[in-house]
Amino acid sequence: MLELQGLTRRFGARTAVDGVSLVVPAGQMVGVIGRSGAGKSTLLRMLNRLTEPSEGRILAAGRDVTTMRGHALRGWRAECAMIFQQFNLVQRLDVLTNVLIGRLYHRGTVSSLLKRFSAEERAEALTTLDRFDLAEAALQRADTLSGGQQQRVAIARALMQRPRLILADEPVASLDPRNATVVMDALARVNREDGLTVMVNLHHLDIARRYCGRIIGMSQGRVVFDGTPAELTSDRVRTLYGVAEEEFHESADEPALVA
Partner 1 sequence: MSVTGADTAAWRSARPAVIRGEEAFHAARRSRRRATLFAMAVLALCLLVSAWMSEAHPVRLAEGLPRIGEYFARILPTLHWSTLFAGTETEGSLAFWFYRIDDWLLLLAETANMAAVATLGGIVAALPLAFLAARNTAPTPWTATLARRFLEALRTVPSVVYALIFVWAFGVGALAGVLAIALHTTGALGKLFAEAIENGDHRPWDGMVAAGANWMECCRFGALPQALPSILSYSLLRFEENLRSASVIGFVGAGGIGEELYKVISFNYYEEISAIIVLIMLAVMAIDLTSEQIRHRLAGAL
15 vs 28 by CB, closer to ligand ADP: 15
| Composition of the chain by helix, strand, coil, percent to 5 | 40, 25, 35
C-beta of 77: minimal distance to partner 1 in Å? 4
C-beta of 25: minimal distance to Mg ion in Å? 25
C-beta of 58: minimal distance to ligand ADP in Å? 16
Name which of ligand ADP, Mg ion, partner 1, none residue 69 binds, using a CB cut-off of 5 to 8 Å depending on partner kind: none
Name which of Mg ion, ligand ADP, partner 1, none residue 16 binds, using a CB cut-off of 5 to 8 Å depending on partner kind: ligand ADP
Does 145 help bind partner 1 (rule: CB under 8 A)?
no
Report the site for partner 1 in 21-80 (rule: CB under 8 A).
Answer: 48, 50, 74-79
Question: Are 120 and 73 a contacting pair, CB within 8 Å?
Answer: no
C-beta neighbour count of 14 within 10 angstroms: 10
Does 102 help bind partner 1 (rule: CB under 8 A)?
yes
Nearest Cα residue to 100 out of 127, 132, 80, 75: 127
Report the site for Mg ion in 12-51 (rule: CB under 5 A).
Answer: 41
Question: What DSSP state is assigned to residue 229?
Answer: G
Strands 222-227 and 214-219: antiparallel
Q: Which residues contact 236 (CB under 8 A, 6 or more apart)?
A: 225
Name which of ligand ADP, Mg ion, partner 1, none residue 259 binds, using a CB cut-off of 5 to 8 Å depending on partner kind: none
What's the CA gap between 130 and 134, in Å, rounded? 5
Identity of residue 2: L
Please tell me whether residue 56 adopts helix, strand or coil conformation: strand
37 vs 229 by CB, closer to ligand ADP: 37
What's the CA gap between 129 and 220, in Å, rounded? 38
Which one of 86, 140, 181, 220 is in contact with partner 1 (CB under 8 A)?
86
Contact positions vs ligand ADP (CB under 6 A):
11, 14, 16, 34, 36-42
**Region from 56-64, 106-114, 219-227, 244-252 binding partner 1, contact rule CB under 8 A:** 106-114
Please tell me whether residue 206 adopts helix, strand or coil conformation: helix
Binding residues for partner 1, rule CB under 8 A, total 29
What's the CA gap between 77 and 8, in Å, rounded? 20
What's the CA gap between 64 and 80, in Å, rounded? 14
Name which of partner 1, Mg ion, ligand ADP, none residue 48 binds, using a CB cut-off of 5 to 8 Å depending on partner kind: partner 1
What's the CA gap between 111 and 177, in Å, rounded? 40
Name which of ligand ADP, Mg ion, partner 1, none residue 37 binds, using a CB cut-off of 5 to 8 Å depending on partner kind: ligand ADP
C-beta of 85: minimal distance to Mg ion in Å? 7
140 vs 181 by CB, closer to partner 1: 140
C-beta of 167: minimal distance to partner 1 in Å? 8
Binding site for Mg ion (CB under 5 A): 41
